[in-house]
Amino acid sequence: MNGRLIYIINETQGILLRNLAFYMVDLRDRKRRLITHMPLSYRRNAIMSYCRLLTRLVRLEPKCAGRLDENRYVVCVLGKLWLLNAQERTITQLAAMRSGYSILNFCEHDGCLYWGDYGTNSNHEEINIYRLDKNLHRDIVYRFAPNSIRHIHNIISVDNGFIVMAGDNEPQAGIYHANADWTEVIPWKIGQQKYRAVVGFPYKGGLLYATDSVETENHIRLISANGEEKILTAINGSCIYGTEIKDYYLFSTTVEPHEGRGIKNLFSNSLGNGIKSKDVHIISVNKDDLSVRIVKKYKKDIWPMKLFQYGTIIFPKGQEDNIKGVWCYNVACRKHDGKSEYIKII
């Protein structure tokens, strides 16, 4: 199915973004009903409609999406937050993002959305964590001090508060624990690349997660409730995206280059030291016995990674109750780029 599924509403319905228009799509027969168009320029609409490669180059697709209630969704596109109302068939701008920053993930918790600043942060500025409630009130719930962390990868709701995943190479990058009212955020596991992560899931009072290191070997790891650490398996690349269904946790690996900057790096197809191949893997972890298997493999396409995006698989939210399979979206994968598809897990 051409286009990006950004949210799975239930087993038969999803929200699809295609050519800068949002649709309600029937997941059984792929029939679409237009919700609304993004209020962007004709030029950007033309790029999105007719040139997939330019779309990748200028990053015209959403970073992430989250759900406030039955009909309202928040989407991060081109440095702005947008409110999509599927019932009223409208989209309105909520706010501009902080200059130089975007969002990698939304955390949905108790009717609110949480996220953190995600960007290069070359000036070592303070990094904020935000909350948006159902009344569309936005506030800052916590600030990391300047010269501490680079940015926020993800926030995960757990029984006694939140897990905050911070990147990338700084001594204080790693995994933090925040209490429920954000009055205290303390380091839990920081300072090493084995704690650099984007995707994680609460597991029996601990945390199951995959690492996101470009230059060192990556693993799916388990931190138990008492803090003990265990490697479940090595994986063939860094992990930026994941999801869960009823009986499985799912991770996708990423094909990306060295972390260097400059013109030469923009055009490089040389892999980072922690990226073992140009294959993108979807990996499942059984929730009962933590057995691991590779569900599917894709091949990165020929285009330079820094310019035209890393090879990876993105999972729309809302699939936690799925039993047999998962919807995913392909980015920079040969023969599949720009398409959403359903993958059977069992």
Full pLDDT tens readout for the chain, 346 residues: 999 999 999 999 999 999 889 999 999 999 999 999 988 766 666 666 678 898 899 888 888 999 999 999 999 988 899 999 999 999 999 999 999 999 999 999 999 999 999 999 999 999 999 999 999 999 999 999 999 999 999 999 999 999 999 999 999 999 999 999 999 999 999 999 999 999 999 999 999 999 999 999 999 999 999 999 999 999 999 999 999 999 999 999 999 999 877 788 888 899 999 999 999 999 999 999 999 999 999 999 999 999 999 999 999 999 999 999 999 999 999 999 999 999 999 8
Cβ(172)–Cβ(149) under 8 Å?
yes
In 234-262, which positions are buried (b, 16+ CB within 10 angstroms) versus exposed (e)? ebbbbbbbbbbbeebbbbbbbbbbbeeee
Residue 333 sits in a domain whose CATH number is: 2.120.10
CA 242/CA 218 separation, integer angstroms: 15
260 φ, ψ (degrees, to nearest 5): -65, 165
Domain assignment present for residue 240? The answer is yes
Domain assignment present for residue 184? The answer is yes
Structural domain boundaries, residue 253: 100-344
Domain count, the chain: 1
Domain assignment present for residue 51? The answer is no
Domain assignment present for residue 208? The answer is yes
Domain assignment present for residue 235? The answer is yes
Domain assignment present for residue 48? The answer is no
**What's the pTM value of the predicted model, to 2 decimals?**
0.95
Domain assignment present for residue 75? The answer is no
Domain assignment present for residue 322? The answer is yes
Strand (E) positions, 218-309? 218-223, 229-235, 238-244, 248-254, 279-286, 292-299
CA 101/CA 119 separation, integer angstroms: 5
Nearest of 126, 76, 79 to residue 105 by alpha carbon: 76
Non-local (6+) Cβ contacts of 124 within 8 A are 146, 147
Cβ(212)–Cβ(218) under 8 Å?
yes
